[in-house]
Amino acid sequence: MPPAFAVADTCLQHPALTDEETMTHLLHRQIHGSLPVAIGGKGIELIDAGGKHYIDASGGAAVSCLGHAHPDVVAALHSQFDRIAYAHTSFFTTEAAERLGDRLVEDAPPGLSHVYLVSGGSEAVEAALKMARQYFVEKGEPQRRHIIARRQSYHGNTLGALATGGNEWRRAQFRPLLIETHHVDPCFAYRFREPGETDEAYAARAAQALEDKILELGPEEVIAFVAETVVGATAGAVPPVADYFKRIRAICDRYGVLLILDEVMCGMGRTGTLHACQLEGISPDFMTIAKGLGGGYQPIGAVLLGRQIFDAFANGSGFFQHGHTYMGHPMAAAAALAVQEAIHRDLLLDNVKAMGGRLTARLQARFGNHLHIGDIRGRGLFQAIELVADRGTKEPFAPGLKVHAKIKRQAMQRGLMVYPMGGTIDGACGDHVLIAPPFIVAPHEIDTIVERLGEAVDAALRDFEI
């Protein structure tokens, strides 16, 4: 059956590409093996060259917040392309970049007053780390050299960001190339809260791990603490317990340590508030954003930073010793502006909250008593199920089984994209599946997503004869 819209119709006039004909030189394709060829998309669906439709229930990797082929974004890109596609930031600024900067500061958590535009999440994290270090150099505290982050975290794949992340599977073989960083346990109730421990006691204990680490390293030598407000790509949609981040903020303030919140995945509306830290009632010194900022229409990321950081640079050397060729790219800025305007105008954060509630309810109904689902967690349209071999002991499946990859394959066969992640090699969490559909998702589509996911999980486990 031909897809019912122009983009795919045009594409389908060309013969479908086959494995032999195309993309044999693409490394990612060799690694992933056979992949369908995406030729079109509309709303929450993607379409492959065979005409098969897939519900994009993960927004790619929590990217496509507006879905695909949104007319406003397409129009904004055409219009920007007709004016200026590229102007290097050391020669020019552009209206698109200026307007995006204004918009981001207008909507920022209190205290964040400036924006540094880059091309993605890892670049944003690298820039935040370097800004934090240069800030202390400008202030006459060059002895500050330590970065503290958390285990079971992900901050990107470039070397500085990889060193900061606590995902051992991703780091292991690159360890000799990584800068020294320090890690404390995350705030991850399902895995780390003691039986009978209250939220309050657990928040205090989890935050205390940071204070202990700062004291161990010497407070005057610590630059920053880095954390995902709601953990994404390593442990799967893990929200903090109440008051954890208030305590973290207080500890950072006590020792003059900067707080960098990485909202590359959980930010820009994904959890129901524009920034995930708004629900925690705190502001960081730096916040990194990406994915939902441009919704996948262009590669873009940003660092939001506070006035005290900007002033230290302005009153010191007068510049930030960093930069990339494509920063502040006008096409990317125009796309991001159009995405953010559509979210605002169409009140999509209200839909994130409403559909998030429905998703939780449907997941609970389908998996609440499932023998191999240990935890259902998340916020807004950023939720996950964690698979375990044994619900009682929370023992994960053996990593070699790759249960998450099997679920992904089963889901794709059923026309469903979900984002699977494997257990960590330190065994601190198991396989999980992230569900992060576009903010425009409708109630019946939430029901279909959970229905297909349920079938995929059961089929994958059946394959293992589990």
List residues near ligand PMP by CB under 6 A: 61, 120-122, 125, 154-156, 228, 232-233, 262, 264-265, 290
* Cα distances (angstroms) measured from residue 327 to each of 115, 293, 330, 335, 399: 11, 14, 9, 14, 39
- For ligand PMP, the closer of residues 122 and 181 by Cβ is 122
- For ligand PMP, the closer of residues 158 and 463 by Cβ is 158
CB of 404 to ligand PMP, least distance (A): 15
CB of 439 to ligand PMP, least distance (A): 18
- For ligand PMP, the closer of residues 156 and 423 by Cβ is 156
- For ligand PMP, the closer of residues 46 and 265 by Cβ is 265
Question: Is 457 within 8 Å of 408 (Cβ atoms)?
Answer: no
CB of 140 to ligand PMP, least distance (A): 31
Give the CB-nearest residue to ligand PMP: 121
CB of 200 to ligand PMP, least distance (A): 27
Structure tokens at 200: 């309050």
What radius of gyration do the chain's Cα atoms show? 22
Structure tokens at 183: 């890690």
Question: How are the residues of the chain apportioned to helix, strand and coil, as percentages rounded to the nearest 5?
Answer: 45, 15, 40
DSSP 205-258: HHHHHHHHHHHHH-GGGEEEEEEESSB-TTTSSBPPPTTHHHHHHHHHHHHT-E
- For ligand PMP, the closer of residues 126 and 138 by Cβ is 126
Residue positions counted in the chain: 466
- For ligand PMP, the closer of residues 48 and 280 by Cβ is 280
Question: Is 53 within 8 Å of 45 (Cβ atoms)?
Answer: yes
CB of 158 to ligand PMP, least distance (A): 7
Q: Residue 175: which residues within 8 A CB-CB, separation 6 or more? A: none
